[in-house]
Every structure is written in C-alpha cells, then in structure tokens.
C-alpha cells in the first residue's frame, strides 16, 4: 500500500487528539495527520436523534466551573455560545423514591445528612493520605473509619449518588488518594453545567480544532482522516509507522496515541515490538468504567416539575438498579423526556439486552415510583459504549492499587510513541477537560523531542517519584 510521511501522527480525533493537534500547530509543527476510526470527530462526546430532538449519549456536563483555575471546556463552550444550564444537584433529598413510591423528606433527611458527614469525612481523610504520603486505601475502607457503611436501600442510593454517579464504579473499587477530594472540584470549581444545545456538546471542539476548519461537525482540512482505523503500530527510537485498515502506512518522527484505556486493554491495535511488561501492566491495572444514560419519552408527564425536581433517586434493595433519574422539562418543555442512568455491572448487563427488555424493567421501576397508571414510554434510546470496539467503556476511574509511580508508567512513551487521552491526565482523568489537558501536555513532550532532541528512550521506565 501507499506510504505517507509526516512529522507527527495523531491517533484519535476525540478531545485529546484535537487538543494535541492544536498544541503542535502552535508549536510550529503543522505537518501531521489525525487518524480517526469513526466517521466523525468528538469520540466520547456524541449526540443522537431522539424523538425530534438531539440528546447527548456521551459527555453531558461541563464539570468544574467557577474555581481558581479556568476550565478550558467552559471557555470553549462560551466561545460557541453553547446552551447549558446549572446542574441543580442540591435538592435530591426531596426527590427520593422506593418500591412504595415517594419517600417523605422527614424520612430521608437524617440519612442524607449522615451521608454528607460521611462524604466530608472521606474527603478529609483523602487529603490527609495525600499530605502524609500514606499508602492508598479504597473509598469504602475510608468509609469504615467513619464507623458506618451504607447498607439500607436509601443509604445505598445516596451513597451511589455521591460516588458511583461521578466515577461510575462503587467506593470499594475507587482509590481514596486519587479521588478524594476531586481535583476537578478543588481546582476548577464546584459547579457544573448541563449541556442541551441542539448543535451538540461536540460543537465546542470546533474552536479547539480551528486548524481543521470544522463547521457543523464537518471539517475541510485534509490532515483529518476519518473512517481510518489503525490496526498496527511499529515504534522505535527513530520513529513510528502506523498501519491502517485501508492498507496505508503513515511514517512519522513521532505518534500520539489517544485511544481510550478500554481500547488499549484489548488487542484492537497490534504493537511491534510488543509493549513492554511495565507498560502493559500499567494499562491493565487502570479501570475503564461504564456509565449509561437511558433516554425515555412519554405521551404525557407524570413526574414532578419545577425548580429542585430535576434529579430523582430510586432506592432499590439491589444497589445500582436504575438509581438515578433526571427529567428534561427545563431543557425541552412539553417533550416529556426523562432519563435514567446506570453504571458498572448494570451497564454491562443492559448493554447485552434488547431495548424492549430494558424498557420493560424500567417501566416496572417507574410504576413503583409513580403508581400503576402511568403510560408506557413511546421511545427509548441508549448507547452501548462498552461493546463498541473503539471505546470499550465510557471513562477511566482510578482504582485502588495504582500508585503515582505506576501512573507515570501509564503516561510514559515507548520510543517515539506517546500516549495520551483522558486517562493520561493525572488530576482530571475521566473528564473532557482531562482529555484537553492531556492532549496538550503530550504534544508539548513531542515538541520537546522534535525541536530540542529531548526524547524519552525506548523501554525507558519512568523514575519513581516521592
Ligand atoms: C456516557 C459518558 C458520559 C460522560 N460524561 C461526561 C461529562 O458529563 N463531563 C465530562 O467532562 N466528561 C464526561 N465523559 C468523559 C469524556 O467524554 C471523555 O473523558 C473524553 O471525551 C475523552 O476524550 P479522549 O480524546 O481522551 O478519548 P475519545 O473521545 O475516546 O477519543 C479517542 C478517539 O480514538 C478513536 N479510535 C479508537 N480506536 C481507534 C483506532 N484503532 N484507530 C483510529 N482511531 C481510533 C475513537 O473513535 C475516538 O474518537 C463522559 C463519557 C461518556 C462516554
């Protein structure tokens, strides 16, 4: 097949790949290509048609605003006048249901208050562990130090609201040191905005990728190669050769690989030579979580509406069984759309079910919450991120057992092959802003290599940090 020679090959046109291209451009390297397997830019930022409207199947919130450091996602959103609204999480104690229906606030308020104390305690312990450089423990272990672990249906749903809704994995899995308190809240700010713009959340990537001339999702710059899946990467200290499904080889002085950690954990891309053990070990230890929004449309509204009703919780004896609910009356008045979110094993389970089976389960839950007379949903839509070979999940979560030293190995290049993507942002992994920061940081390392000849050597094992 053909051989195309460029300075740098970027693999993946998600937020990280596009951000890497921007930093390279600004650093004087414009001879690059971006190889993207799918038909569009944006990766895990993606919307879809749903009953006359468009809804976001991937990233939906701009997380971390109004803090000491500006969130680049917020800046970009404002540049394109993206439509978003305040995420009003605070009122959730007024909106809890179980199999008997609505739970009066006086029943649940003491549980919510205790969960707040528990949350603060865990954050303080996380700070202590970081400051004193103590060996990591899980968030669940930290909760045990509080003397109480959530165990009733209501306690569990509030607990999963505080943790699983954010990290898509339960506290027993998640690292205390690396998630508490959340750097996004601490540095970028405590507020979040929910995006409902009909042009799509991904519109904010257009100013980021200005060098590709994108408008309405279409980009005219030939350096972007859509529908171009990478199958094999050969790397050395001299450069990188990337093979694609359409049998073209791209040769570069360096490459930036931004596919998700879920993809790296599979054999979708063949590496030659095989990735060294320390690198594979770091890749396999990190977690790709799964988080699924299930959108439903009804012929009429039967849930409460008005300020403070947006987020609802359903407490089941089985933790994680259709626990989180959010209506879209503010965003799409009169459309009668509500969605439920599940995570982790429940996501994996429903990904394997046909829509009708999931809908039947969801209707049973809704009838417990709102009574037997509510109508059936007319539409259902949910994505299968975990089954998709180009994603294999939704976002990374830092598990217990991965130290900062091992994390550096996840980020480290092998030869001239550089790794990037949201999972490579030490502070902000899992988020769109994490992907943007990581893409830029990796591109800076590539610039240093190409301009100053300061490149990491093949198989170099990153030095331990204290
Ligand atoms: C359901 C869901 C909800 C989320 N909610 C939020 C949120 O509210 N707020 C937030 O900040 N973040 C959220 N996130 C996380 C956020 O979307 C991601 O962290 C971010 O978009 C990841 O960007 P990335 O560039 O690192 O990876 P990706 O977007 O995955 O980009 C990598 C690209 O590589 C491509 N690729 C894969 N394999 C190949 C191959 N072999 N050859 C060529 N290309 C390939 C993929 O198609 C993809 O386009 C959510 C994600 C999901 C899925």
Q: How many residues does the chain have?
A: 466
Q: Is 37 annotated as a binding residue?
A: yes
Q: Residue 20: enclosing H or E segment and its boundaries?
A: helix 15-26
Task: Taking residues 343-351, report their average pLDDT.
Answer: 98
Task: Taking residues 170-188, report their average pLDDT.
Answer: 97
Q: Is 230 annotated as a binding residue?
A: yes
Compute the distance from residue 290 Cα to the ligand 1 centre, in Å: 12
Pocket test for ligand 1, best of 48, 58, 351, 397 (most atoms within 8 A of CB): 58
Ligand 1 atom at minimal distance to the Cα of residue 420: 26
Q: Active site residue: 26, 49, 63, 422, which one? A: 63
pLDDT, tens digit, 9 for 90 and up, residues 304-332 = 999 999 999 999 999 999 999 999 999 99
Q: Taking 50 as the threshold, does the pLDDT of residue 441 lie above it?
A: yes
For the chain, domains (ranges, CATH) are: 3-44+200-286+398-452 (3.50.50.60)
Radius of gyration of the chain from its Cα atoms, rounded to whole angstroms: 23
Q: Is 123 a catalytic residue?
A: no
% residues pLDDT > 70 (the chain): 98
More confident residue, 454 or 466: 454
Q: Are 154 and 316 in contact (CB under 8 A)?
A: no
pLDDT, tens digit, 9 for 90 and up, residues 236-272 = 999 999 999 999 999 999 999 999 999 999 999 999 9
pLDDT at 466: 40
Residues with Cβ within 6 A of ligand 1? 11-17, 35-38, 43-45, 58-61, 63, 229-230, 258-260, 263, 268-269, 291, 385, 390-391, 394-395, 421-422, 430-432, 434-435
Quickly list DSSP for 328-371.
-TTTSTTS-EEEEEEEHHHHHHHHTS-HHHHHHHHHHHHHHHH-
Q: Residue 232: enclosing H or E segment and its boundaries?
A: strand 230-235
Q: Is 111 annotated as a binding residue?
A: no
Task: Taking residues 59-75, report their average pLDDT.
Answer: 97
pLDDT at 458: 43
pLDDT, tens digit, 9 for 90 and up, residues 189-219 = 999 999 999 999 999 999 999 999 999 999 9
pTM, full prediction: 0.97
Question: CA 323, CA 320: separation in Å to the nearest integer?
Answer: 6
Complex confidence, ipTM: 1.00
Question: CA 218, CA 377: separation in Å to the nearest integer?
Answer: 34
Ligand 1 atom at minimal distance to the Cα of residue 291: 1
Question: CA 330, CA 309: separation in Å to the nearest integer?
Answer: 10
pLDDT at 157: 98
pLDDT, tens digit, 9 for 90 and up, residues 102-155 = 999 999 999 999 999 999 999 999 999 999 999 999 999 999 999 989 999 999
Pick the most confident of 9-13, 92-96, 236-240, 450-454.
9-13
**Which band of pLDDT confidence, cut at 50, 70 and 90, is reported for residue 338?**
very high
**Which band of pLDDT confidence, cut at 50, 70 and 90, is reported for residue 88?**
confident
Ligand 1 atom at minimal distance to the Cα of residue 16: 25
Task: Taking residues 423-450, report their average pLDDT.
Answer: 97
Least confident of 63-67, 262-266, 346-350, 458-462: 458-462
**Which band of pLDDT confidence, cut at 50, 70 and 90, is reported for residue 460?**
low
Task: Taking residues 403-409, report their average pLDDT.
Answer: 91
Q: Taking 70 as the threshold, does the pLDDT of residue 463 lie above it?
A: no
């Amino acid at each position: 097949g053909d051989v195309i020679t460029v300075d740098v090959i970027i693999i993946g046109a998600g937020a990280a790949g596009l951000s890497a291209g921007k930093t390279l451009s600004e650093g004087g390297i414009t001879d690059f290509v971006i190889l993207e397997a799918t038909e569009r830019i944006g990766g895990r930022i993606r919307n879809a048609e749903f009953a006359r409207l468009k809804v976001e199947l991937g990233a939906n919130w701009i997380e971390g605003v109004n803090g000491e450091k500006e969130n680049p996602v917020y800046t970009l959103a404002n540049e394109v006048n993206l439509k978003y609204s305040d995420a009003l999480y605070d009122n959730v104690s007024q909106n809890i249901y179980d199999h008997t229906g609505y739970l009066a606030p006086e029943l649940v308020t003491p549980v919510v208050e205790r969960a707040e104390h528990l949350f603060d305690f865990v954050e303080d312990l996380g700070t202590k562990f970081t400051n004193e450089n103590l060996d990591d423990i899980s968030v669940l272990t930290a909760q045990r130090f509080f003397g109480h672990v959530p165990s009733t249906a209501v306690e569990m749903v509030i607990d999963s609201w505080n943790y699983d809704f954010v990290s898509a994995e339960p506290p027993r899995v998640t690292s205390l040191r690396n998630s508490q308190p959340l750097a996004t809240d601490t540095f970028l700010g405590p507020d979040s905005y929910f995006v409902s713009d009909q042009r799509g959340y991904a519109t904010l990537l257009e100013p980021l990728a200005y060098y590709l001339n994108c408008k309405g999702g279409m980009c005219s710059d030939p350096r972007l190669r859509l529908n171009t899946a990478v199958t094999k990467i050969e790397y050395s200290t001299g450069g990188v050769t990337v093979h694609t499904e359409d049998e073209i080889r791209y040769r570069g002085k360096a490459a930036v690989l931004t596919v998700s950690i879920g993809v790296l954990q599979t054999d979708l891309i063949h590496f030659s030579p095989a990735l060294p053990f320390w690198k594979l070990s770091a890749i396999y230890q990190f977690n790709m979580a799964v988080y699924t929004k299930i959108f439903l449309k009804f012929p009429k509204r039967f849930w409460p509406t008005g300020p403070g009703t947006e987020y609802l919780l359903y407490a089941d004896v089985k933790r994680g069984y259709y626990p989180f609910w959010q209506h879209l009356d503010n965003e799409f008045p009169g459309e009668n759309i509500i969605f439920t979110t599940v995570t982790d094993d429940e996501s994996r389970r429903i990904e394997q079910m046909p829509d009708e089976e999931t809908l039947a389960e969801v209707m049973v839950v809704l009838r417990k919450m709102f009574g037997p007379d509510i109508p059936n949903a007319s539409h259902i839509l949910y994505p299968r991120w975990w089954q998709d070979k180009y994603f294999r999940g939704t976002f990374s979560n830092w598990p217990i057992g991965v130290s900062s030293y091992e994390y550096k190995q996840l980020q480290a290049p092998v030869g001239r092959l550089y790794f990037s993507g949201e999972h490579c942002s030490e502070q902000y992994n899992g988020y769109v802003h994490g992907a943007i920061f990581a893409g830029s940081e990796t591109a800076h390392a590539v610039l240093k290599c190409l301009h100053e000849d300061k490149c990491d050597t093949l198989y170099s094992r990153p030095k331990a940090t204290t």
